[in-house]
Protein backbone atom coordinates (compact mmCIF):
# COMPACT_ATOMS: atom_id res chain seq x y z
CA UNK A 1 0.00 0.00 0.00
CA UNK A 2 2.79 2.39 0.95
CA UNK A 3 4.67 1.55 -2.25
CA UNK A 4 1.58 2.28 -4.33
CA UNK A 5 1.07 5.64 -2.60
CA UNK A 6 4.74 6.51 -3.11
CA UNK A 7 4.60 5.60 -6.79
CA UNK A 8 1.42 7.63 -7.24
CA UNK A 9 2.92 10.62 -5.44
CA UNK A 10 6.04 10.41 -7.61
CA UNK A 11 3.95 10.18 -10.77
CA UNK A 12 1.90 13.25 -9.81
CA UNK A 13 5.06 15.22 -9.04
CA UNK A 14 6.65 14.30 -12.35
CA UNK A 15 3.53 15.32 -14.27
CA UNK A 16 3.53 18.64 -12.43
CA UNK A 17 7.23 19.25 -13.09
CA UNK A 18 6.95 18.50 -16.80
CA UNK A 19 3.81 20.64 -17.11
CA UNK A 20 5.49 23.63 -15.44
CA UNK A 21 8.64 23.10 -17.52
CA UNK A 22 6.58 23.09 -20.72
CA UNK A 23 4.65 26.19 -19.65
CA UNK A 24 7.87 28.07 -18.88
CA UNK A 25 9.11 27.28 -22.38
CA UNK A 26 6.02 28.39 -24.32
CA UNK A 27 4.39 31.20 -22.36
CA UNK A 28 4.68 34.86 -23.40
CA UNK A 29 7.20 34.25 -26.17
CA UNK A 30 6.55 37.68 -27.67
CA UNK A 31 7.39 39.56 -24.48
CA UNK A 32 9.74 37.58 -22.22
CA UNK A 33 12.62 38.12 -22.51
CA UNK A 34 12.68 41.30 -24.55
CA UNK A 35 13.80 40.54 -28.09
CA UNK A 36 17.35 41.59 -28.91
CA UNK A 37 19.08 42.31 -32.20
CA UNK A 38 20.80 38.92 -32.30
CA UNK A 39 17.42 37.16 -32.16
CA UNK A 40 15.70 39.27 -34.80
CA UNK A 41 18.66 38.86 -37.19
CA UNK A 42 17.26 35.62 -38.62
CA UNK A 43 13.85 37.22 -38.96
CA UNK A 44 15.29 40.13 -40.92
CA UNK A 45 17.21 37.80 -43.23
CA UNK A 46 14.08 35.68 -43.76
CA UNK A 47 12.08 38.78 -44.72
CA UNK A 48 14.78 39.82 -47.19
CA UNK A 49 14.84 36.35 -48.72
CA UNK A 50 11.05 36.31 -49.16
CA UNK A 51 11.14 39.75 -50.81
CA UNK A 52 13.82 38.58 -53.23
CA UNK A 53 16.48 40.85 -51.73
CA UNK A 54 20.10 39.86 -50.98
CA UNK A 55 20.48 38.46 -47.47
CA UNK A 56 23.45 37.65 -45.26
CA UNK A 57 24.82 34.12 -45.46
CA UNK A 58 26.88 34.55 -42.29
CA UNK A 59 25.93 35.66 -38.79
CA UNK A 60 27.55 38.49 -36.83
CA UNK A 61 30.02 35.95 -35.42
CA UNK A 62 31.05 34.83 -38.88
CA UNK A 63 29.24 31.49 -38.66
CA UNK A 64 27.33 30.24 -41.73
CA UNK A 65 23.55 30.46 -41.51
CA UNK A 66 22.13 27.50 -39.61
CA UNK A 67 19.68 25.91 -42.10
CA UNK A 68 17.93 23.94 -39.34
CA UNK A 69 17.00 27.24 -37.71
CA UNK A 70 16.79 29.57 -40.69
CA UNK A 71 14.49 27.24 -42.65
CA UNK A 72 11.64 27.19 -40.09
CA UNK A 73 11.96 30.96 -39.57
CA UNK A 74 11.57 31.52 -43.33
CA UNK A 75 8.51 29.25 -43.44
CA UNK A 76 6.87 30.96 -40.45
CA UNK A 77 7.66 34.43 -41.80
CA UNK A 78 5.94 33.49 -45.06
CA UNK A 79 2.79 32.44 -43.19
CA UNK A 80 2.51 35.01 -40.38
CA UNK A 81 3.26 38.66 -39.80
CA UNK A 82 6.68 39.41 -38.27
CA UNK A 83 6.76 38.79 -34.54
CA UNK A 84 9.22 37.77 -31.83
CA UNK A 85 7.58 34.37 -31.37
CA UNK A 86 8.46 33.42 -34.96
CA UNK A 87 12.21 33.58 -34.34
CA UNK A 88 11.80 31.80 -30.99
CA UNK A 89 9.51 28.94 -32.01
CA UNK A 90 12.32 26.79 -33.50
CA UNK A 91 14.15 27.10 -30.18
CA UNK A 92 11.02 26.05 -28.29
CA UNK A 93 10.49 23.01 -30.50
CA UNK A 94 14.15 22.00 -30.20
CA UNK A 95 14.08 22.38 -26.42
CA UNK A 96 10.90 20.35 -25.98
CA UNK A 97 12.16 17.66 -28.37
CA UNK A 98 15.41 17.46 -26.41
CA UNK A 99 13.48 16.65 -23.22
CA UNK A 100 11.22 14.10 -24.92
CA UNK A 101 14.07 12.34 -26.71
CA UNK A 102 16.21 12.32 -23.58
CA UNK A 103 13.64 9.95 -22.12
CA UNK A 104 12.76 8.12 -25.33
CA UNK A 105 16.31 7.48 -26.52
CA UNK A 106 17.87 7.31 -23.07
CA UNK A 107 15.80 4.30 -22.04
CA UNK A 108 17.01 2.44 -25.14
CA UNK A 109 20.73 2.76 -24.45
CA UNK A 110 20.70 3.09 -20.64
CA UNK A 111 17.60 2.26 -18.57
CA UNK A 112 14.21 3.74 -17.74
CA UNK A 113 15.23 5.15 -14.35
CA UNK A 114 18.28 6.94 -15.73
CA UNK A 115 16.24 8.25 -18.66
CA UNK A 116 13.57 9.64 -16.32
CA UNK A 117 16.18 11.34 -14.14
CA UNK A 118 17.98 12.87 -17.14
CA UNK A 119 14.76 14.05 -18.79
CA UNK A 120 13.50 15.60 -15.54
CA UNK A 121 16.76 17.42 -14.90
CA UNK A 122 16.85 18.75 -18.47
CA UNK A 123 13.22 19.83 -18.24
CA UNK A 124 13.69 21.93 -15.09
CA UNK A 125 17.27 23.12 -15.63
CA UNK A 126 17.07 26.95 -15.78
CA UNK A 127 19.66 27.33 -18.54
CA UNK A 128 17.82 24.72 -20.64
CA UNK A 129 14.60 26.70 -20.22
CA UNK A 130 16.37 29.91 -21.24
CA UNK A 131 17.88 28.22 -24.31
CA UNK A 132 14.36 27.15 -25.27
CA UNK A 133 13.11 30.74 -25.20
CA UNK A 134 15.75 32.72 -27.08
CA UNK A 135 15.81 32.82 -30.87
CA UNK A 136 19.46 31.95 -31.45
CA UNK A 137 20.82 29.13 -33.58
CA UNK A 138 22.79 27.87 -30.57
CA UNK A 139 19.46 27.00 -28.93
CA UNK A 140 19.47 23.77 -30.93
CA UNK A 141 22.74 22.58 -29.38
CA UNK A 142 21.11 20.57 -26.54
CA UNK A 143 19.14 18.56 -29.11
CA UNK A 144 22.24 17.98 -31.24
CA UNK A 145 24.25 16.99 -28.19
CA UNK A 146 21.57 14.51 -27.16
CA UNK A 147 21.66 12.85 -30.59
CA UNK A 148 25.46 12.65 -30.49
CA UNK A 149 25.40 10.95 -27.09
CA UNK A 150 22.63 8.58 -28.13
CA UNK A 151 24.53 7.32 -31.17
CA UNK A 152 27.71 7.12 -29.09
CA UNK A 153 26.03 4.98 -26.41
CA UNK A 154 24.38 2.90 -29.12
CA UNK A 155 27.75 2.34 -30.80
CA UNK A 156 26.45 3.55 -34.18
CA UNK A 157 29.34 5.19 -35.99
CA UNK A 158 27.46 6.56 -39.00
CA UNK A 159 24.78 8.08 -36.79
CA UNK A 160 27.41 9.67 -34.54
CA UNK A 161 29.22 11.12 -37.56
CA UNK A 162 26.03 12.62 -39.02
CA UNK A 163 24.90 13.98 -35.64
CA UNK A 164 28.33 15.55 -35.10
CA UNK A 165 28.24 17.18 -38.54
CA UNK A 166 24.74 18.48 -37.83
CA UNK A 167 25.97 19.93 -34.53
CA UNK A 168 28.85 21.71 -36.27
CA UNK A 169 26.40 23.16 -38.79
CA UNK A 170 24.20 24.40 -35.94
CA UNK A 171 27.10 26.03 -34.08
CA UNK A 172 30.87 25.39 -34.07
CA UNK A 173 31.00 25.22 -30.27
CA UNK A 174 29.45 21.75 -30.49
CA UNK A 175 33.00 20.54 -31.20
CA UNK A 176 33.57 20.56 -27.43
CA UNK A 177 31.15 17.64 -27.09
CA UNK A 178 33.30 15.48 -29.35
CA UNK A 179 35.71 14.18 -26.64
CA UNK A 180 32.79 12.90 -24.56
CA UNK A 181 30.81 11.34 -27.39
CA UNK A 182 33.91 9.87 -29.01
CA UNK A 183 35.06 8.41 -25.71
CA UNK A 184 31.71 6.71 -25.10
CA UNK A 185 31.66 5.39 -28.67
CA UNK A 186 35.14 3.88 -28.34
CA UNK A 187 34.15 2.11 -25.13
CA UNK A 188 31.15 0.62 -26.92
CA UNK A 189 33.37 -0.50 -29.80
CA UNK A 190 35.81 -2.19 -27.41
CA UNK A 191 32.95 -3.96 -25.61
CA UNK A 192 31.39 -5.12 -28.88
CA UNK A 193 34.64 -6.48 -30.34
CA UNK A 194 36.05 -8.23 -27.28
CA UNK A 195 36.32 -11.57 -29.07
CA UNK A 196 37.55 -10.16 -32.37
CA UNK A 197 40.85 -8.23 -32.08
CA UNK A 198 41.11 -7.73 -35.84
CA UNK A 199 37.70 -6.07 -36.01
CA UNK A 200 38.56 -4.00 -32.94
CA UNK A 201 41.74 -2.65 -34.51
CA UNK A 202 39.87 -1.89 -37.71
CA UNK A 203 37.17 0.03 -35.85
CA UNK A 204 39.66 1.96 -33.70
CA UNK A 205 41.86 2.88 -36.65
CA UNK A 206 38.88 3.95 -38.77
CA UNK A 207 37.49 6.06 -35.93
CA UNK A 208 40.88 7.68 -35.29
CA UNK A 209 41.40 8.52 -38.97
CA UNK A 210 37.90 9.98 -39.40
CA UNK A 211 38.27 12.04 -36.20
CA UNK A 212 41.71 13.34 -37.22
CA UNK A 213 40.65 14.21 -40.76
CA UNK A 214 37.47 15.84 -39.45
CA UNK A 215 39.36 17.98 -36.91
CA UNK A 216 41.90 19.11 -39.50
CA UNK A 217 39.15 19.93 -42.02
CA UNK A 218 37.09 21.77 -39.41
CA UNK A 219 40.10 23.80 -38.29
CA UNK A 220 41.11 24.61 -41.87
CA UNK A 221 37.60 25.74 -42.81
CA UNK A 222 37.21 27.75 -39.59
CA UNK A 223 40.49 29.63 -39.76
CA UNK A 224 40.09 30.40 -43.47
CA UNK A 225 36.84 32.26 -42.86
CA UNK A 226 37.33 36.02 -43.45
CA UNK A 227 35.76 36.97 -40.12
CA UNK A 228 38.05 34.69 -38.11
CA UNK A 229 41.17 35.75 -40.01
CA UNK A 230 40.37 39.43 -39.55
CA UNK A 231 39.71 38.89 -35.84
CA UNK A 232 43.02 37.14 -35.25
CA UNK A 233 44.94 39.74 -37.24
CA UNK A 234 43.34 42.51 -35.21
CA UNK A 235 43.70 41.03 -31.73
CA UNK A 236 46.49 38.45 -31.75
CA UNK A 237 49.03 39.41 -34.38
CA UNK A 238 51.35 41.43 -32.11
CA UNK A 239 50.93 39.43 -28.90
CA UNK A 240 53.86 38.06 -26.94
CA UNK A 241 52.75 34.42 -26.95
CA UNK A 242 55.69 33.19 -24.88
CA UNK A 243 55.02 35.66 -22.08
CA UNK A 244 51.31 34.93 -22.24
CA UNK A 245 51.82 31.18 -21.86
CA UNK A 246 54.20 31.82 -18.95
CA UNK A 247 51.32 33.55 -17.16
CA UNK A 248 48.64 31.12 -18.33
CA UNK A 249 47.77 30.13 -14.77
CA UNK A 250 46.21 33.54 -14.13
CA UNK A 251 44.37 33.44 -17.43
CA UNK A 252 43.01 29.98 -16.62
CA UNK A 253 41.86 31.04 -13.14
CA UNK A 254 40.09 34.10 -14.54
CA UNK A 255 42.47 36.51 -12.81
CA UNK A 256 43.88 39.66 -14.37
CA UNK A 257 47.59 40.35 -14.61
CA UNK A 258 49.34 42.74 -12.22
CA UNK A 259 50.50 46.07 -13.62
CA UNK A 260 54.17 45.08 -13.54
CA UNK A 261 53.48 42.91 -16.61
CA UNK A 262 52.39 45.61 -19.09
CA UNK A 263 53.50 43.57 -22.09
CA UNK A 264 50.59 41.22 -21.42
CA UNK A 265 47.93 43.79 -20.65
CA UNK A 266 47.12 44.81 -24.19
CA UNK A 267 44.43 42.62 -25.70
CA UNK A 268 44.46 39.90 -23.06
CA UNK A 269 43.27 40.82 -19.59
CA UNK A 270 42.22 43.96 -17.68
CA UNK A 271 44.62 45.48 -15.12
CA UNK A 272 44.24 44.81 -11.40
CA UNK A 273 46.00 45.88 -8.24
CA UNK A 274 49.50 44.53 -7.80
CA UNK A 275 49.00 41.30 -5.87
CA UNK A 276 51.32 38.34 -5.58
CA UNK A 277 50.72 35.46 -7.97
CA UNK A 278 51.76 33.04 -5.22
CA UNK A 279 49.06 30.55 -4.33
CA UNK A 280 47.09 31.07 -7.56
CA UNK A 281 49.98 29.88 -9.70
CA UNK A 282 50.73 27.03 -7.32
CA UNK A 283 47.09 25.93 -7.37
CA UNK A 284 46.96 25.93 -11.17
CA UNK A 285 50.16 23.97 -11.72
CA UNK A 286 49.31 21.56 -8.89
CA UNK A 287 46.01 20.78 -10.61
Map out the domains of the chain as residue ranges.
2-224
pLDDT at 266: 39
Give residue 98's pLDDT. Answer: 92
Per-residue confidence (pLDDT) for residue 150, from 0 to 100: 93
Other Cβ atoms within 10 Å of 199 Cβ, number: 13
What is the maximal distance between C-alpha atoms in the chain?
A: 73
pLDDT at 188: 87
Closest CA to 28 of 162, 108, 133, 113: 133
The CA distance from 139 to 142, in Å, is: 7
What's the alpha-carbon Rg for the chain, to the nearest Å?
24
pLDDT at 96: 92
Q: What are phi and psi of 58, to 5 degrees?
A: -130, 150
Can you give the pLDDT at residue 49? 85
Mean pLDDT, the chain cut into blocks of 10 residues (287 residues total): 70 83 81 70 83 80 81 86 82 91 90 89 87 82 90 88 88 84 86 80 83 80 71 62 58 52 40 45 54
Q: What pTM value is reported for the model?
A: 0.71
Q: How far apart are CA 258 and CA 250, in angstroms?
A: 10
Distance of CA 15 to CAs 9, 18, 33, 240, Å?
10, 5, 26, 57
**What pLDDT does 102 receive?**
92
Q: How confident is the model at residue 197, as a pLDDT?
A: 80
Amino acid sequence: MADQLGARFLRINLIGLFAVALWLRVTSLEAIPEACGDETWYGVQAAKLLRGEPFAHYTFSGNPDNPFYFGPVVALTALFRPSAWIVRLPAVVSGVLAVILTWGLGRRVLDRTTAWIAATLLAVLPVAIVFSRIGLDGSQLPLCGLLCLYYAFAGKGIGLLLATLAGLIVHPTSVFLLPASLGVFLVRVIERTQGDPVSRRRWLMTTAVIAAVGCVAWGWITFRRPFVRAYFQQHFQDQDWGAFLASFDRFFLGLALPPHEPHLQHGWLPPVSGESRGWQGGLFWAC
